[in-house]
Structure 1
Amino acid sequence: MENALENLSKEDLLKVISSRDEKIDYLESQLAMYKRMQFGQKRELFEGDPNQGVLPFESEHAQAEQQEEEIRQKIEYVRKRPNHKGRAKLPAHLPVEEIETHPQGDLTDMVCIGQEITEELECEPARFYIKRYIRYKYAAKNGDGVSMAELPERVIDKGIPGASLLAMILTGKYADHLPLYRQKQIFARENIQIASSTIEGWTRQALEKLEPLYLQLVHDTRTRGYLQVDETRIKVLDSDKKGAAHTGWYWVYHAPLDGTVLFDYNPSRGGHVPGPMLDNFKGYMQTDGYVAYEKYAKKKEVVHLACWAHARREFEKALDNDRVSAEKVLLEIQKLYGVERRIKDGGLDAKQTKELRLAESLPIINELGKWIFQEIKNTLPKSQIGKAMMYAYARWDALSAYLYDGNLLIDNNQIENALRPCCLGRKNYLFAGSHEAAQRAAMIYSFFASCKKHQVNPFQWLKYTLENIMSINHKNLKDLYPQNFKIITEKSNM
């Protein structure tokens, strides 16, 4: 190798050295990034004050004395103050069980002058009971026939589980991430022995009842004018290979203006998968940088929005590579989010939001864009800071597009929040039993995500839906959406 270098001209030798230096810089930045991923903080919050968190190895004698005095005063304060500021206020909607107590002994010559009330929050384990329908038969005296009341619609025909039990099982698994085998253990503690295959069958049949409502949600989601799109993986057992697991994907569509979320399962992550949802889509589409969305984003009927949270992550990764440049960008992004915080805290409407963004966010974006355009020319493309700049530069128009309308969001964080229950469930029950089971799970994930967005109790919603979905008129199917169930519940409580 050394002989080969000796035969190179000075110009070629400089090129080789430059190439090696570039490769060394790249490898060092990669090493720093992996160390940061392994050992650094996991949160994304960027602290702009460079002096914050700097701890001296030694303190001066005067500082040590001052610190000891502060600690002594703190200890004295803790000793003197009460144990707590007061009891937490108990919810007003809970039933109350009153227990009256009187002093022991003869109270004949005493008069009650008042009472003191102390409250405790108590609970009972899930209460299982049997609902028994007794239908009396009546026969006509003239012998013309027998009359008997009809059974109400049941979730599983000729099955023993009621709507509330099925709602508890599904909420336990898909909202509280409790695998079915653990729920079986809960039944066993109450001396209720149910086979695992039976519980699995109940789960499958209950989820199948939601299919008409899910199909309605698919139709409505396709017609929305603003969608956020993302995807997350799910392990699925492969029936063709015993014991093998296939990596499938949940494709997720969030309509921010309606607060609805749609999970759709597919074995593939290919760019063709979102076609049924996005081929005819018109409006604002917000995604991360995954290439599968590019062909849909380039349609003239679509305005593509990128995600500032993803851009921020790229520069956060570059802090160990080029702290000065990365911090400059992160501070500017921090200002953009400062504007968004004021919008949220002030409760501004869409028109006011757009005006404030144009007045304050647009100048920040313009100046930052000019700076990145100049700096990217002198930055190694393969370095982490180079990658971060290229990520932002290639998507600059899409990153700026949220300024078009006050209803648009600066990032994709809301849809990522909707993915979290799925990710937590993945850690607990590890995989879906089949591709069909993964799609059935997609249905309940969709509705539970909407419940969370509208602050609806998922158990109450699911119980109500299972009780009504078989008898409701198909024209009124949307009444079973979580947000509409909330309206019904609020009206009934007035």
Structure 2
Amino acid sequence: MVYSRVHFNQLLEEQAISRSQIDQLKTENRLLQEKVQCLMKRLFGSSSEKLSPDQLELELEEFRELQEALDLAESKTELAEEEQKQSKRGKRKGLDARIPKDLPTETIIIDPDEVIAHPELYKKIGEERLEQLDITPTQFIKIVTIRNKYKKRDDRSVAPLIAPAPKQLIENSYATVGLVLHIILGKYCDHLPLYRQEQIFKQRFGVEISRKTMGGWMYLVAQWLSLIYEALRNEIRASGYIQADETFIKYQDPKKDYCPNGYLWAYHSPAVGVLFEWHASRAATCLDSMLIGYSGLLQTDGYAGYTSWLNKKSHAAKKASIIHAACWAHARRKFKEVPGNPTAEDVVKLIAKLYRVESKLRDNPDLDRAAYRQEHSAPVLEQIKSILETERFRQLPQSNFGKAIHYTLERWDALNLYLEHDKLEICNNLVENAIRPTAIGKKNFLFFGSPDSGQTSAVIYSLIETCRKLDINPAVYLREILTALPTMNQSEAADWTPARWKSSRENTSA
């Protein structure tokens, strides 16, 4: 068979097209293999990277949240392994070191029957001591308050006398501060939904309190606490440093036949507290209530809503007063998702060195953070940037490594801001930790009952998580504050934020 030159050229063109298609398919296959390997690593890898199959069914927002928690745990593990590869388990602490010093103590003395019968014949030469922990189960008590009425014996024109009724946390209700506090701690600390508490009260104690009634109490308590909630907001804004993040929680909407996603926006300031805001969306406008008028540092992940808010023309003046910092934990996660690449592993190891510097600073608070970072972290950052600048032209933009390089270099200046501002943390992990208890709660109660009920939980979560951050017992704090609320003036609310409450107690004890 004889081929003409035209036919031959046509075959060459078809061959070139086929080769191009083959190369494209090879590239797509490699990218897909990267994703499969990353997924397999999460499913069957070490416990610090492992995800259960059930978690894979969660939506993207929750998956991101869980992965950040795993990254935090793994980064701590890597640092511990590099600093001390052969760790030994310390001796177990004694009971006195593991319980509060002011714990009520009941002493039981047991003497032999012979000594009890004839004590004059025996002399004590020592003792055998056994220390145990006991607990008194929850017990319902009915409190009856009687206010006697009196009249003058010799003057009937005088109105009868009766003592004024004590002010109640919830008017015209049988709920005491102790009962309301028990329900709050059950839901927001122990993650027990109201319907479970309803069952527990009925089955164990024979007391019937409907979940609807308890939900109404939570709403009223949140209204009381809103003054302190706003005072906490002012404290966080005045601190000049806010770490921000958001997490989704579903809610019931009577206008829809499904539960849409709402969001708890979290704002954390180290040593000050955490404030949650509830919004039915993730739009950038949700930041208005916290950031309009704010001046200082703002540290976030890579969600575009933050940069979108800062880049609005109407917020141009605010942008100049807000320094937007990025998070190294999120950048690190991008490189951890690159399977089997030694260069990406080198970047992860260099990032671990940055975290080791931060660990040193936490253990030695007297060190000059800015100077120490410039000496030890700045050279490591230069190494990372040199690697990324070299590799950016060698990696496919759509590969996991290419995406990680682009993500990091795009935010390079924001990632390096913590060198200039000693107040800044290297990452957003502190606010991630503050969000974690809410994630446990939403897995138990599944959704909020209405579009408005989310703010009730936001107010109570804010105070409880701030107590946790400041090492305050929320039961002690809330009991005292719930007792004081009915007689509290609006001007006094600012003195009842967890930070000020703790400071006043420390000053009193000193």
Same fold (TM > 0.5) = yes
Give the match for residue 260 of structure 1.
273
1:167 aligns with 2:174: no
1:482 aligns with 2:501: no
Give the match for residue 123 of structure 1.
135
Using the alignment, how far apart are the partners of 1:205 and 1:315 within structure 2?
A: 47
1:235 aligns with 2:268: no
1:100 aligns with 2:109: yes
- Maintained 8 Å contact 1:249/1:268: yes
Give the match for residue 326 of structure 2.
306
Secondary structure of 1:254's aligned partner: strand
Give the match for residue 399 of structure 2.
383
1:283 aligns with 2:296: yes
CA distances 1:277-329 after superposition (whole Å, capped 9, x unpaired): 224332211000011111345523222111111111111111x152x111110
- Maintained 8 Å contact 1:234/1:249: yes
Alignment of 1:39-438 (within 5 A): 39-41=44-46, 42=49, 43-44=70-71, 45=74, 87-89=94-96, 90-105=99-114, 106-107=117-118, 108-140=120-152, 141-142=154-155, 143-188=157-202, 189-242=204-257, 244-256=258-270, 258-298=271-311, 299-318=319-338, 320-322=339-341, 324-348=342-366, 352-438=368-454
- Maintained 8 Å contact 1:456/1:483: no
Secondary structure of 2:129's aligned partner: coil
Distance 1:18 1:4, change over 3 A: farther
CA distances 1:405-457 after superposition (whole Å, capped 9, x unpaired): 21110000000000011100011111110111111111111111101011111
1:27 aligns with 2:29: no
Distance 1:237 1:420, change over 3 A: same
Using the alignment, how far apart are the partners of 2:397 and 2:348 within structure 1?
A: 19
**CA deviation after TM superposition for structure 1 residue 14, in Å:** 4.9
Using the alignment, how far apart are the partners of 1:5 and 1:170 within structure 2?
A: 78
Secondary structure of 1:211's aligned partner: helix
Using the alignment, how far apart are the partners of 1:12 and 1:111 within structure 2?
A: 105
Give the match for residue 315 of structure 2.
none
State the one-letter code of the partner of 1:245.
C
Using the alignment, how far apart are the partners of 2:345 and 2:281 within structure 1?
A: 38
Q: Which has the higher helix share?
A: 2
**CA deviation after TM superposition for structure 1 residue 360, in Å:** 1.0
CA distances 1:6-53 after superposition (whole Å, capped 9, x unpaired): 46266655544433332222111111112222222324326779x99x
User: More displaced, 478-487 or 104-113?
Assistant: 104-113
Secondary structure of 1:22's aligned partner: helix
**CA deviation after TM superposition for structure 1 residue 229, in Å:** 0.8
CA distances 1:267-286 after superposition (whole Å, capped 9, x unpaired): 11122221232243322110
User: More displaced, 166-175 or 212-221?
Assistant: 212-221
Using the alignment, how far apart are the partners of 2:444 and 2:475 within structure 1?
A: 20
Unaligned runs of 5+ in 1: 53-83
State the one-letter code of the partner of 2:400.
Q
Distance 1:348 1:491, change over 3 A: closer
Distance 1:48 1:145, change over 3 A: closer
- Maintained 8 Å contact 1:278/1:296: no
Distance 1:117 1:316, change over 3 A: same
Paired positions, count = 454
- Maintained 8 Å contact 2:273/2:470: no
**CA deviation after TM superposition for structure 1 residue 220, in Å:** 4.2
**CA deviation after TM superposition for structure 1 residue 222, in Å:** 4.1
CA distances 1:435-489 after superposition (whole Å, capped 9, x unpaired): 1111111111111110101111112211212111232222221121112222344
**CA deviation after TM superposition for structure 1 residue 173, in Å:** 0.1
**CA deviation after TM superposition for structure 1 residue 153, in Å:** 1.8
- Maintained 8 Å contact 1:309/1:411: yes
Distance 1:438 1:31, change over 3 A: same
- Maintained 8 Å contact 1:217/1:262: yes
- Maintained 8 Å contact 1:285/1:297: no
Using the alignment, how far apart are the partners of 1:359 and 1:165 within structure 2?
A: 55
Using the alignment, how far apart are the partners of 1:287 and 1:489 within structure 2?
A: 33
Using the alignment, how far apart are the partners of 1:17 and 1:335 within structure 2?
A: 42
Distance 1:178 1:468, change over 3 A: same
Using the alignment, how far apart are the partners of 2:135 and 2:9 within structure 1?
A: 81
State the one-letter code of the partner of 1:23.
E
Distance 1:231 1:186, change over 3 A: same
User: More displaced, 11-20 or 151-160?
Assistant: 11-20
**CA deviation after TM superposition for structure 1 residue 493, in Å:** 4.9
Using the alignment, how far apart are the partners of 2:378 and 2:251 within structure 1?
A: 45
CA distances 1:64-88 after superposition (whole Å, capped 9, x unpaired): xxxxxxxxxxxxxxxxxxxx96852
State the one-letter code of the partner of 2:111.
H
CA distances 1:309-368 after superposition (whole Å, capped 9, x unpaired): 1111111111x152x11111011101111110110111235xx00110011111111221
Alignment of 1:448-459 (within 5 A): 448-459=464-475
User: More displaced, 122-131 or 102-111?
Assistant: 102-111
Using the alignment, how far apart are the partners of 2:101 and 2:160 within structure 1?
A: 49
Secondary structure of 2:113's aligned partner: coil
TM-score, length of structure 2 as denominator length:
0.83
User: More displaced, 15-24 or 429-438?
Assistant: 15-24
Using the alignment, how far apart are the partners of 1:327 and 1:17 within structure 2?
A: 30
State the one-letter code of the partner of 2:279.
N
Using the alignment, how far apart are the partners of 2:373 and 2:323 within structure 1?
A: 18
User: More displaced, 188-197 or 475-484?
Assistant: 188-197
Distance 1:281 1:137, change over 3 A: same
Using the alignment, how far apart are the partners of 2:503 and 2:293 within structure 1?
A: 32
Using the alignment, how far apart are the partners of 1:8 and 1:38 within structure 2?
A: 45
Using the alignment, how far apart are the partners of 1:382 and 1:367 within structure 2?
A: 24
User: More displaced, 406-415 or 466-475?
Assistant: 466-475
Using the alignment, how far apart are the partners of 1:129 and 1:489 within structure 2?
A: 30
Using the alignment, how far apart are the partners of 1:223 and 1:487 within structure 2?
A: 17
- Maintained 8 Å contact 2:169/2:485: no
Identity %: 33
Unaligned runs of 5+ in 2: 1-7, 50-69, 83-90, 312-318
State the one-letter code of the partner of 1:184.
E
